[in-house]
Chains A and B, each alone.
Chain A
Amino acid sequence: MSGAEMEDENELAGILADQVNRLLADTATREVKRAAELGDWPAALWAGVEEAGLPLALVSEDAGGVGAGWAEAEVVMRAAGRHQAPLPLVETMLAARMLEGAGLPIPDGPMTLAPIPPGDALTLDGERLSGRASRVPWGGRAGHVVLLLEGEGGTAIVLAEPGEPVANANVAREPRDDLTWTEAVVQAAPTNLSAGDLRHWGAFARAAQMAGALEFVLAESVRYANDRSQFGRPLGKFQAVQQQLAALAGEVAAAGASVLAAARALDRGRAGFEVACAKIRCGEAAGKAAAIAHQVHGAIGFTQEHALHFATKRLWSWRAEFGGEAQWSQELGREMARLGADRLWPFMTGARGA
Chain B
Amino acid sequence: MQDFRFTPLDLPPETEALRGEVRAFLDETIGHEPPVLRSRTWSRFDGAFSRKLGDKGWIGMTWPRAYGGHERSALERYVVLEELLAAGAPCSAHWTGDRQSGPLLLNRGTEEQRRRFLPGIASGEIFFCIGMSEPDTGSDLASVRTRADRTDGGYIVNGTKIWTSNAHECDHMIALLRTDTEVERKHDGLSQFILDLKAPGVTARPIRNLADEDHFNEVVFQDVFVPDDLLVGREGDGWAQVTSELAFERSGPERYLSSWILVEEMLRAAGPEPSERRAIALGRLVAHAAVLREMSLSVAGQLQRGEDPSLEATVVKDLGALLEQQIPEVAHELYEEEPTLEAASDLAQVTAYLVQAAPSFSLRGGAREILRGIIARGLGLR
Contact = CB atoms under 8 A, between A and B. Distances in A.
Contacts of A44: none
Nearest to A243: B372
Interface in A85-110: none
Given A258-B291, A337-B273, A253 B315 contact: yes
B265 interface: yes
Contacts of B264: 341-342, 344-345
B6 A256 contact: yes
A246 interface: yes
Contacts of A300: none
Contact of B283 (A241, A250, A332): A332
A225 interface: yes
A334 B378 CA distance: 39
Interface stretch (A115-123, A155-163, A179-187, A321-329): A321-329
Interface in A264-278: 264, 273-274, 276-278
B7 A10 contact: yes
Contacts of B290: 261, 273-274, 277, 348
Given A222-B1, A328-B283, A329-B287, A246 B375 contact: yes
Given A222-B381, A257-B291, A261-B8, A242 B271 contact: no
A15 interface: no
A349 B381 contact: no
A6 B298 CA distance: 12
Interface string A131-150: 00000000000000000000
Central interface residue in A239, A284, A333, A348, by most chain B CB within 10 Å: A333
Nearest to A274: B290
B369 A341 contact: no
B32 interface: no
Interface in B253-311: 260, 263-265, 267-268, 270-274, 276, 278-284, 286-295, 298, 301, 304-305
- Complex A-B, nearest 4 residue pairs according to Cβ-Cβ distance, in ascending order: A333-B283, A333-B279, A332-B283, A246-B372
A346 to B, nearest CB: 8
Contact of B286 (A7, A222, A332, A349): A332
Interface string A218-247: 110010011000000010110101110111
B295 A239 contact: no
A222 B319 CA distance: 20
A43 interface: no
B295 to A, nearest CB: 5
Contact of A280 (B284, B292, B298, B312): B284
A200 B304 CA distance: 32
Interface residues of A, number: 62
Contacts of A333: 270, 274, 278-284, 286
Contacts of B322: 250
A95 to B, nearest CB: 27
Contacts of A344: 263-264, 267, 286
Interface string B355-382: 0000000000000010111011011111
B294 A258 contact: yes
Contacts of A218: 1, 379
A349 B78 CA distance: 12
Interface residues of B, number: 64
Contacts of B86: 345, 349
A10 B8 CA distance: 11
Contacts of A253: 4, 6, 295, 312, 315, 319
* Main SS at interface, chain B: helix
A260 B294 CA distance: 9
Contact of A249 (B4, B281, B282, B305): B4
Nearest to B294: A261
A219 B264 CA distance: 38
Contact of A257 (B260, B276, B294, B381): B294
A254 to B, nearest CB: 5
Contacts of B111: none
B282 to A, nearest CB: 4
A1 B13 CA distance: 11
Contacts of B218: none
Contacts of B294: 257-258, 260-261
11 contacts: A225-B381, A234-B382, A253-B312, A256-B4, A261-B290, A280-B288, A328-B283, A330-B280, A332-B284, A333-B284, A345-B264
B318 interface: yes
Interface string B314-347: 0100110010000000000000000000000000
Contacts of B16: 351
B375 A249 contact: yes
B187 to A, nearest CB: 20
Interface in A1-59: 1, 3, 6-7, 10
B211 to A, nearest CB: 24
B283 A336 contact: yes
B259 to A, nearest CB: 13
A234 B381 CA distance: 9
B6 A242 contact: no
Given A10-B7, A245-B379, A250 B318 contact: yes
A1 B8 CA distance: 11
